[in-house]
Structure 1
Amino acid sequence: MCSWKGKEMIESKGRFSLVLGACFSALCLAAPASAVACANSDVTPNALVCQGFYSGNLLSNSPADIFAQTTHLAGLGFAWNGNWNAVEKISGLGGSHSVDFATMLHGISYVAFHFGNGTGGPGNVTAFYMIDAGASTDVLTLNYNASSNAVLYSTGTVPEPASWALMIAGFGMVGAGLRRRRDFATA
C-alpha cells in the first residue's frame, strides 16, 4: 500500500505527485479491471497482442489518461511519446462494429478502443491492440457492440514510388562501382 509521509509530503508537491502517480499505477493499472480479458479476436484483422480491459474510458488527453495509455502501449512493445495531437481519434462510434480510420493502416499498427455500457459489450472498459494490418486497410471490425471511441497511435509506413526508385538506383550504383573496381583490379 501507499504510505503517507506527513509534513514532508505536504511541503513537496512534486514528490507528492510522483508518489500519488506510483500508487495509482500500482493499484489501478497493474491488472485489468474487468473480469473478462481482451482477446486477439476482439478485432478483425485479429490482433497479435492485446492489453485490457481496463476500467473506464482512458482515451482522453488528461494527464492520468496519457500516463495510462503510455503504460499500456508499452506493454504491447510500443513506446508512445504521449503527444495527443499526433494520434487519429474517432469518437461517437455509437456501438458500430466498423471503425473506419482516415489513415490507411499498413503492417504493424497500434490502436485502442473504448467500449461503453451498451448491450453486447464488455462494459465501460478500454483495450489496447497491436494489429498486423497487412498491405493496407483502413476499416477494422470489432466483435463487440457498444464501441464509443477509437484511437490510432501508429501504423507502418509504405515507401513512396520515388523512394523505391531512389533505392533501386542506389543499389545499381553500388553494384556498378563494385564491378568497376573488380574490372580495374584484374587489368
Structure 2
Amino acid sequence: MRKLLLGLGALVALAATPASAVTITFNNATSCVGLCGNNLSGPNGLIDQGFGDTANVNVTYSGVGSNPESSLRFWNGGYSGSDAVWTNSGRGQIRFDVLTPGVLKLVSVDFGGYLNNPSRSIAYDVYDLSLTNLVSGSVNPPALSMATVSFGQTSTTGLIFQFGPDAYAGGVQNIVYEFTPGGTIVPEPATWALMIGGFGAAGTMLRRRRALAA
C-alpha cells in the first residue's frame, strides 16, 4: 500500500510542475527582423524559422503539397480582420519539436478567412511526429473576428499542426502552446479518477488479505 501511495504522490508532484505558455503572434513584418527572412519584406514575407522558438521547443514552418514552400507567409490584415500566416502550397504546417525532457501541449489556434470571408471553411489536423492523426476538424470563422479553436493534444517528442487544404484562403494566428518540464504526460482528470479508484481498491484488497491471514 505504501508503494501505491508513493506512486500516486509522484504523479501528483508531476502534475504540480508549472507549465510555461508561449503565444506565437505574427505581426507587421515590414522590418524583417526576427519574423520574415529570405530578404523579403512587407505583407508577403516568409516567416523566419527561429520565430516562436524557446530553449525547450523548436518551431518550424512550411507548406505541404506538390510544390511546398520553405515557410509560411505573413499577410497584414484581411483574414477575418486580422493579420495571419498562409501559404501557396495547399496546406500550411507548423511543427513543434521537443528539445528537452518534458511535455508539449498545443493549446489553441486562431483561424481567419481571407478577405474577411465568413463562409470560408478551414480544415485542420494535429499529428504526432510519426504522423498518427490525433485530431481533425474544421472551422468557419466570422467575417471580422478570428475563430479560436482549443486543442489539448500532448506529446513528449513533438506535434505537427496542419491547416488547409487551401491555406491561401484560410490563415492562422496566435498559436498557443505550453511546455511542462518533467518528461511524462500528466493524465487527464477522468484518468486521475480511475487511477485513484484503483489505488483505493488495491488498498481495500490488501486490508482484507491481512484480516484473513490474522
Pick the TM interval, shorter chain: 0.3 to 0.5
Q: Point out the structure with max Rg over C-alpha.
A: 1
TM-score by length of 1: 0.33
Q: TM-score normalised to the size of structure 2?
A: 0.30
The structure carrying a bigger strand percent of its residues is: 2
